[in-house]
Structure 1
């Protein structure tokens, strides 16, 4: 009995000693992670980066290497593939399935996700950042205050129209268009392109193509028709929605004329961004809208590759009328951008990555691509290659003011002439919109009203309905919820 008691006491003492000498389970896990150099896996979903893109893997490998060397952060990026099709729709299907990556690029569809509390408020992170807080613009700040879930640090980048230079130079109407870009001069220019067919063999078949709807054309023509904000102030001091205004009716008449006269691509409704661009490169369409800045450079590089140096792009001006510009800038929220999942276990680490991409080292990776492929170092300067101009784009940030750690050769500027001018024009014609985030109680009606608008405009442009039906459409729009949202707008915009 006494022997058994002594054995029991000895057992408790050994167990107590082991417990005292053993670290906490979580501490052990962390120590092992630190000691063996295990990388943290960060899941990312991006529109243009996936397993089928040959550039994606080496690009994110370069970021992994930079993070380790410059910030002592060890991560392993895991790209999430989405099925082909509408990016916003496919992304939301993924997120609603419960698979929520750590870092998410949105191009629409984010508001419903944010309203469920699935996206992180980025403001406190930016306030404590090393680099990002110094490069965001006033319009970024306004958008973050209104909607703190998306970040997109880029120059103002409306959709701007471009045409290959060799065709532009053959048109007798080109000079008049550039000197005085009225709606009538635009029509004359489009008509001459189709009639003269400077490409020969029936090319171009039409003057203008867009991807799916008229939104891209609106950047060029809205302000000329007097649509300078989302809510237009009437003579009596009240506001009406621009898409149900007399100005909109006049613009739709013009669009229908383009379509009826064979100047607007008859298949514009079924075009996606890739088939729109293919029509441009294949000389089926003379003019396409593209995002100002780097996208225009990519268009230019590919056009020159296919059709020679003389085909280098010319930027066309915004149409001039009651106003002139590429549309008002929405400051309610970012229309696209990068978000951090609120469900991620690595939120702070994800933001450190976003912050690193704003650093000089991160910008070298993001802005210039791969040495020996997209650029070479010659006499201490960066010389960009043809492949850079035709292929490379920054996935993350493009500060308005950027000084490269390694100087860029004057022979190969970051942006070509047309691309640079597109950003300059965006700043020159800057106008702030008066739109606002639609309150949740109106969202369902608002979506239905937008669909009503898109259906009607499509029917008018393609001739399925006459423009004389515009008043009936306006009545339907107000009945579908327009009265309530217009009342809310007038209270908000006082």
Structure 2
């Protein structure tokens, strides 16, 4: 509680300074960008008062006279950042090297491999006196944010007009997108993080099905639509030698168990509130929150996927799925169907063979829901300021630039003429960067030392034309357009919970998720047969673990956003 008292005292001082200041407080300034036709809102002093007297409503270390540098004298911030598999150290990324020069803010990077991210977050949050100033791309959940905030480990950005004053670009985006504000605001009104946001169908639809059109052509098959079509096409991919090498070495479909069920659950009407809540949606017959994993329809999904597995139509090693394995299969012309947000993790030749499916899979009752749909959020917890940060105002200005059009372009592409060029269609990386893919590198590998956005959870907006992600490439973009008509009419944002609800989510729902994940794999592989007795035992077990309490929490959280 001592940490929370110190935060409150510091913020109270900021509010007092603002209240005592003259009318020349922070206002919005519009700056022309050499890289973009749009403007950037900045927390700069726009007063016509030309005296050199400092504005007492802001900390004296800030430069309030222009967009950059952010500070009058160099300062240093420590940033803990999640590091993807093909990303090097963040101090070596071109965008951040340039940004240090622009802002006057030196960054001491703490690079954390994504595989140990959760462990390192917990250690850092409990290391009083040695916490980093900022947590970047660490994907800290709303559940954990509330707990860390209650412990006083992280800063509540809703206080003292911090966002309005020092993050006006993000604040404007949040006010314009109610589902973002809902997801970012706790039941008590706290805001602990800036999110990763999305603003186009290609990025909102976070998984698309890509099918090997070359194989379809070789076998004279049309794209699958119905659940029967899907079985027949996958069967032909397995047994009719679509790659023509005379060897039965094809893998019709490879994906993780969770994505397999999500890929096909819409054929039975499940997942009708989008992707942010993978185990819950609405039972349209009752209007009540439904637990997807215990619904009778989910049993039918598992029976369908079990048949695919039994007949050899999905990868027998799906439990150990990863993108590297899929990439190797594509290189050897052994993969028929690929589920992902784009083709960036595959070799470049994938573009010669794979196309997006033209329609979402349709079930036996005509259900055709594509549940992989986000709200205006990609993910939460992309940028968090610790309670030990000495310069929270500068930290907010540092990140807020990335929520302007100019900053989005810079974050994703770098500097015009150095790392990208402008084309009639938008922007593209310089040839020396794109040529790396001809050397066998994936898209994410090719850009890893240029931009930090690989592996997601970036505190910016993925928005065309400023977003450089492969989601906006022609094939994934068309795949998203094809699936858009089948996405839910209502997409739930991330929910926020009270402390009491949070405890139920952590103590009850997390073990339920672990159990349903385990049983899903067992049902698919036949380790547990699917029949009336085993299904009843499974459902009863989930309810005995406390599912009713979790459903009550979801009903309450849903009611708050209606």
TM-score range relative to shorter protein: 0.7 to 0.9
Gaps of 5+ in 1: 1-28
CA distance in 2, matches of 1:329, 1:473: 28
| Unpaired stretches in structure 2, ≥5 consecutive residues | 1-59, 63-69, 274-279, 438-442
Q: Which has the higher helix share?
A: 1
Q: After superposition, give the CA deviation of every residue in 1:356-400 in whole Å (9 maximum; x if it has no partner).
A: 112343223222246567534579985545645823477236646
Given candidates 535, 541, 558, the residue that maps to 1:476 is 541
Partner SS state of residue 116, structure 1: helix
Q: 1:437 to 1:449 in 2, by over 3 A?
A: farther
C-alpha displacement of 1:314: 3.4
Matched, 1:40 2:103: no
Q: Deviation per CA, 1:193-242, whole angstroms, max 9, x where unpaired?
A: 1223333444753211124x32x234422221121242443756654412
Q: Distance in 2 between matches of 1:113 and 1:145?
A: 11
Matches of 1:401 and 1:234, distance apart in 2: 32
3-state SS, counterpart of residue 153 of structure 1: strand
Asked if residue 197 in structure 1 is aligned to residue 241 in structure 2, the reply is yes
Task: Count residues in correspondence.
Answer: 439
Pick which of 243-252 and 47-56 moved more: 47-56
Question: If the length of structure 1 is used for normalisation, what is the TM-score?
Answer: 0.75
Tell me what 1:222 maps to.
Answer: 265
Are residues 450 and 303 of structure 1, via their aligned partners in 2, closer, same or farther at CA, if it must alter by over 3 Å? same
Counterpart position of 1:133: 171
RMSD (CA atoms): 3.9
1:296-375 to 2 correspondence within 5 Å? 296=342, 298-299=344-345, 302-304=346-348, 307=349, 310-311=352-353, 313-315=355-357, 317-321=359-363, 322-327=366-371, 335-343=379-387, 344-369=389-414, 374-375=419-420
Structure 2 CA distance for aligned equivalents of residues 116 and 92 of structure 1: 9
User: Structure 1 residues 183, 50: closer, same or farther in 2, change over 3 A?
Assistant: closer
- Per-residue CA deviation, residues 466-494 of structure 1 (Å, 9 max, x unaligned), is 01111110000011111333355556667
Measure, in 2, the Cα distance between the counterparts of 1:105 and 1:400. Answer: 14
Q: Is 1:161 paired with 2:198?
A: no
Contact 2:139 2:380 in 1 (8 A): yes
Cα gap change, 1:324/1:314 in structure 2, threshold over 3 Å: closer, same or farther? same
Query: For the Cα contact (< 8 Å) 1:223–1:327, is it kept in 2?
Result: yes
Work out the CA distance in 1 between the residues paired with 2:179 and 2:292: 22
Alpha-carbon contact 1:64-1:74 (below 8 Å) kept: yes
Paired with 1:104 and 1:110, the residues of 2 have a C-alpha distance of 15
- 1:317, distance to aligned residue in structure 2 (A): 3.5
Compared CA separation, residues 74 and 328, structure 1 to 2 (3 A): same
Equivalent-residue separation in structure 2 for 1:115 and 1:332 (angstroms): 24
Residue pair 1:259, 1:461 contacting (<8 A) in 2 also: yes
Structure 2 residue corresponding to 1:455, chosen from 511, 518, 525? 518
Q: Give the corresponding residue for 1:145.
A: 185
Q: Which residue of 1 aligns with 2:105?
A: 75
**Which residue is equivalent to 1:58?**
94
Equivalent residue in structure 2 for 1:111, among 131, 143, 150: 143
Match of 1:187 among 214, 223, 231: 231
The aligned runs of 1:172-321 (5 Å cut-off) are 172-175=220-223, 177=224, 181-201=225-245, 202=247, 205-211=250-256, 213-214=257-258, 216-227=259-270, 228-229=272-273, 230-233=280-283, 235=285, 238-291=288-341, 296=342, 298-299=344-345, 302-304=346-348, 307=349, 310-311=352-353, 313-315=355-357, 317-321=359-363
* TM-score in terms of structure 2 length: 0.67
In structure 2, do the counterparts of structure 1 residues 459 and 361 end up closer, same or farther at CA, with 3 Å as the change threshold? same
Shift of residue 154, structure 1, vs aligned partner: 1.7
For the structure 1 residues 453 and 62, does the alpha-carbon distance in structure 2 shift closer, same or farther, using more than 3 Å as the test? same
Aligned partner of 1:432 in structure 2 is 490
